Amino acid sequence: MIKERIDIENIDGQLFEIKLVDPDNSKHASFTHYLHNHKNGVSQFYKKDALSYVKEILEKEYPTTEITLEVAESALQYLLFDLNKSARFPAPENPNFKFIDLFAGIGGFRLGGQKNNGKCVFSSEWDKFAQQTYKENFGEIPFGDITKIEANAIPNHDVLFAGFPCQPFSYSGRNEGFKDKTRGTLFFDILRILEEKKPKMFLLENVKGLKSHNKGKTLETIIDSLTKLGYHLHWEILKSTDFGLPQKRERWYCIGSLNKIDFEFPKKINEKVTLRSIIDENEDSENLKLTEFELNRINYHFQNVRDDYQRVEHDSSKYEPTTKKGRNGIFSYQKPDGSLRFHVGDHAKTQIQEAFYCTLDTYSPTIIANRVPKLWDIGRKLSVLEAQRLQGFPDKYGFPVSDNQAYKQLGNSVSVPVIDLIIKEMTKYL
Ligand SMILES: C[S@@+](CC[C@H](N)C(=O)[O-])C[C@H]1O[C@@H](n2cnc3c(N)ncnc32)[C@H](O)[C@@H]1O
């Protein structure tokens, strides 16, 4: 009877509310992980919590019916059939390798992993809005805080993916091992998982600045500690503009492999793309338009500029006299590529970029959490759909969260085509 009356969405709806009230409740994550892994022998990791979760939900939904473990188990089995339908990006039917998605965000690595015929067997992301987006697209709720998850609670996998936050390490004692230096950082959590699970390969991603962070010592510690675990490393800084995206995003990518391999990072694609290629022609929402203040400043620049590339001084009385803008003034300047920049201050050395406007024929700066690219020639900022194209996410990728959250999640994420091509190279060695 119960079999006929429940479906995934029903259960998911209930579960979601529970999760939001109690962030430590990992049963929802176990439940979705169980459903995603019933074919590959990994599901036993998640079965106990998944069953207890289903039992809880059924007890709430059908308070007068006795829910035994057998009933819960048959409900769970029934749910297995519907699973792939509920995900926009279902797992491949016959995967060639297993991977885990750490600091998963909205699953940029997962898209690349699945595209290369990989199956995700574990994900972790603690931000509840990112979890919502992840679930919307992959039908799975990631587990929360990775620092609280034992490495032996993670299933075996061939590849570990992680775009981890860059944090300073401590260099307090003499002769201290890498574990002492990295303890308490999220990189340490990657190390302990690698040490316990020994996947054949991993792919890490970070900001370009990792290279020079703490005068190079941070990167040195990272390389040292991964090498000590027995991994052979290859790393490189790659630009998203070299891989078909009109975004100047430069990132550090590092692959590690237990076997010594002649790994080569993907070659750049020599096709020049501009923002025009990602623009949605039908987009005319009011809330994307530049403010009147911005439009006035832009118009002022073009009305007053005499020579090409001349700096135009704006009326600083529009700004509070106590602020840097009020004291030093605002100058605008158009670069040869057409982009328009506003600077605070007069002298090149003290200039602080205050605003940046691209054009349809240029590329955007790196998108980050709270900066959405703006175009002066069409008088608006990018929509969420355009921002997702800027990171190479497919159009059918969905955001069940506010636009501000969506921009932030995209800014934190990876450029999918770059990840996809790197993983493609990695699969040659799996
Ligand atoms: C740079 S983003 C990675 C985004 C991801 N690569 C993607 O494709 O969207 C880092 C992520 O780590 C998450 N995070 C930070 N600390 C965490 C922790 N202790 N446990 C789980 N996730 C964490 C953040 O919420 C953030 O989404």
Closest CA to 214 of 170, 177, 173, 180: 170
Q: How far apart are CA 320 and CA 388, in angstroms?
A: 36
Within this chain, do residues 93 and 230 fall inside the same structural domain, yes or no? Answer: yes
Residue 104: predicted pLDDT: 97
Within this chain, do residues 167 and 228 fall inside the same structural domain, yes or no? Answer: yes
Is 58 near ligand 1, meaning CB less than 6 Å away?
no
For 390, phi then psi, to 5°, come to: -65, -25
In this prediction, the residues of the chain whose per-residue pLDDT falls under 70 are 1-25, 78-86, 173-175, 346-351
Within this chain, do residues 12 and 113 fall inside the same structural domain, yes or no? Answer: no
Within this chain, do residues 28 and 59 fall inside the same structural domain, yes or no? Answer: yes
Is 145 near ligand 1, meaning CB less than 6 Å away?
yes
The catalytic residue positions are 166
Within this chain, do residues 42 and 105 fall inside the same structural domain, yes or no? Answer: no
Last residue of a domain, one of 36, 67, 86: 86
Last residue of a domain, one of 86, 105, 131: 86
- Which atom of ligand 1 approaches the CA of 108 most closely? 8
Residue 152: predicted pLDDT: 93
CATH code, domain carrying 142: 3.40.50.150
pLDDT tens digits along 337-373: 899 999 887 655 556 778 899 999 999 999 987 789 9
Within this chain, do residues 105 and 146 fall inside the same structural domain, yes or no? Answer: yes
Residue 73: predicted pLDDT: 80
pTM, entire model: 0.87
Whole-number Å distance, alpha carbon 164 to ligand 1 midpoint, is 7
Is 189 near ligand 1, meaning CB less than 6 Å away?
no
Please, are residues 391 and 248 in contact by the beta-carbon 8 Å criterion? no
Alpha helices (H) along 81-107: 83-86
Residue 148: predicted pLDDT: 92
CATH code, domain carrying 296: 3.90.120
Question: In testing the pocket of ligand 1, which one of 252, 412, 420 has its CB within 8 Å of the most ligand atoms?
Answer: 412
Closest CA to 92 of 122, 118, 121: 118
Within this chain, do residues 108 and 236 fall inside the same structural domain, yes or no? Answer: yes
Within this chain, do residues 177 and 243 fall inside the same structural domain, yes or no? Answer: yes
Within this chain, do residues 225 and 97 fall inside the same structural domain, yes or no? Answer: yes
Residue 248: predicted pLDDT: 92
Give nearest CA residue, ligand 1 atom 5: 105
H-helix or E-strand spanning residue 420: helix 416-427
Within this chain, do residues 31 and 126 fall inside the same structural domain, yes or no? Answer: no
Residue 6: predicted pLDDT: 38
Whole-number Å distance, alpha carbon 103 to ligand 1 midpoint, is 3
> Where are any strands of DSSP class E within 172-311?
201-207, 232-239, 247-248, 250-257
Within this chain, do residues 323 and 387 fall inside the same structural domain, yes or no? Answer: yes
- Which atom of ligand 1 approaches the CA of 162 most closely? 6
pLDDT tens digits along 191-234: 999 999 999 999 999 999 999 988 898 999 999 999 999 999 99
Last residue of a domain, one of 86, 114, 145: 86
Within this chain, do residues 145 and 71 fall inside the same structural domain, yes or no? Answer: no
Total domains in the fold of the chain: 3
DSSP 158: S
Residue 80: predicted pLDDT: 62
* Domain of 192, in residue numbers: 88-270+418-430
